[in-house]
Amino acid sequence: MSEVGHDQSMQIKADMGLEDQQTARYYAERAAYYERVYHKPERQRDLRRMEAALPECFAGRHVLELACGTGWWTPFGARDCASWLATDLNEETMQIARQKALPAGARSSSRSSTHTR
């Protein structure tokens, strides 16, 4: 994350109410193991169906994804889109999101995951 991006993120967090700050902290603290829910055997069939359906929903579209979290769904939705910008308040979750394999022709920005075709 650029220094400007970090400063903006810190200002946004400073402007948030206590409850919002606690929610943001909750997700930041769990970023490293948040995706475990997607590895549960009982969820695999439903997850595969959702992953297969997402590309069609966004095909050819320009998408701004707010609160992308760890970016689990981003590569599936972005596969056939015209462009995709994934953002999140927490740098902890964005670090994980940036590690996701991007669709063909996609690129990544320093502050958030960007997918373009």
Whole-model pTM over 0.75:
no
Contact in structure between 71 and 100 (CB atoms under 8 Å): yes
Tokens of 34: 């948040």
CA–CA gap between residue 37 and residue 43 (Å, rounded): 8
Residues 70-94: tens digit of each pLDDT: 999 999 999 999 988 888 888 888 8
Question: Percent of the chain having pLDDT more than 70?
Answer: 75
pLDDT value of residue 73:
94
Tell whether the model's pLDDT for residue 102 goes beyond 70: yes
Question: Percent of the chain having pLDDT more than 90?
Answer: 36
CA–CA gap between residue 11 and residue 68 (Å, rounded): 20
